[in-house]
Structure 1
Amino acid sequence: MSIVVVTIFYSWFKRNYGKHLINLVSTVAYSLVYPPQEWIENAIAMTTQAWDKLGEDNPSLVQKEFDFYVFGHSLGGLLALSWPAFVDPQTQGKFIPQQILTADPAPSTEMGIPQIAICILKLVGSPFAKTPINICDTGSKLNVPVAIMHGADDTLVKPESWVNRSWYQKQSNFDCIASKEKQIYFSLSNKDKNPPLIAFHNQAVTDTTYFDDALFDIFGGVKKGPNAYNRQYIWPGVNLVVTNEVRADELFYKFPLKDIQVTETLPPKPNHLPKILIGILTVVGLGLVYWWFAHSGHVLSFS
């Protein structure tokens, strides 16, 4: 029903926008039919099947040893970090990762979904909402070197969600990762460049033009092609690790940075609370002055 409503609504003023939105809504709706555990179990099963097929076509590969790595972006980053918790050492031992790298990963499959929507999904018995994946549940199985490459200005999966502890948590999401060989990196925006370089959620993505810009701007940021975040940060980091040049948690001085900066400590955000409070107090004060004049018989005149 929701898909029909969205289709009619957006076809009135921007057919292309509506078409892409329908694709996204359809994909999300389809994913709600399955629990997140099944997503990752299917990913592991497909990897196993692909290797078996490759072995059938190339028998010499079957006996060879190889290093296995896992990389993921956004929700895929959470699945990458949760991979060791779901891979079976007995039957899928070759797919136990040597190291894991992620870009702007979500700490939970519920990240970015309004709480009211989660409550509704649970009430209707959605498999997605019944058994979410959380890094604080799967992180205890994560005992390999880990790199999280985040963007300091990511508004979809805010970097604070990894390093700041929520009131209901005993430790931060990053601290839930059991590995002692872990590091989180934060790329910074460079607004002096033309066009500006913004460390948003889609910094690992090379191109978003297959979706409408107005739509994809809501989903993490628009990219017209690879930029410094691809060439100097995300993909060089992955390459350095898989070629055994450096361990995932020791990448900091190895990124070939020229146009952007990377830090291991999240820069503090400007505190706008005082300005907001001053604005509220000003409005309240003006309201009280107006009320006093209106009820005291005085005439307030502006010219």
Structure 2
Amino acid sequence: MIRRTLGAAGGVLLLASTLAACTGDSSEDAAVTEIATAEPAPTTGKSAPTRNYTDVDVTDYTTGSLVSWTLEGPGVDCYINTHSSSDSMGCTLDFAEDVRDASNGEAAGAVDWVSDGHFAPTMQTGGGDTPASVKTLRPGQRISAAGATCVASGDRAMACERDGKEFTYDDGDFSATDWTLGERNLVEGSRDAGGFCGEANNGLYADMWNTRVIVTEGTVDCREAVDTLDGYLSTWQDGSRGNSLLTALSNGWTCSMPTAATSRAENIKVTCGKGSMAVKIPVTTPGAPSN
């Protein structure tokens, strides 16, 4: 299974000192505090809002100056750097919608506390599995460090605040103060072999910076091509599909990721086919960074 985890930029997670102030009470009830969160739409099937939470002992999550944790569900890993010379914080996230790094337009796989003081989606760097030593923040638990606070409201849901700014994440859905979802590059109509159809959502593969969809065979409806890549790149791979992650999708397309040698030789990061039609995400394209 390919899983995104914390790298140097990490994913972000920052929390407000206003919430941290609640922990100063020495009574037994001090560890349980009410937090108001937006009610989700009843039809979304997302996590229920967290009304009460329990503070965890942050030292259990601390190694040196780094506070780190993961959620119970896959794909979310977080950190806070508590060193006096650093204010970096972040979380890797699996975005349900296509989310782009505003600084370079590349597919985002993390949310970071940026230098001008708010949360922003960024490219995810690094990779690999989450170390076994990283503890889990369970639903209903809150963690606070360096003036930042996060509350887990579900297996893959979290609300974080810092300096009056916040972000919320719920099983792929994301929102943050001072941030709005931008437009990605999509082409209307059909394209023949060699044609560009737009940019796929990198989904769970947040280290896939280049997501340009190119037609390699036949005449392909670009919306169908991009939707197909979106579906494949947001499908969890459990290791049962072999090295090439061969996956048959419900819309009749079949997608895979070639082995490293084939990928380099044929400039193919991902390929999908249906009948006489085929598309790919190349390893490199003019004007796009390599993966």
Do both share a fold (TM > 0.5)? no
Q: Which has the higher contact order (CA 8 A, sep 6+)?
A: 2
Q: Point out the structure with the larger strand share.
A: 2
TM-score, normalised on structure 2?
0.23
Q: Return the index of the structure with the highest Cα Rg.
A: 1
TM-score, normalised on structure 1?
0.23
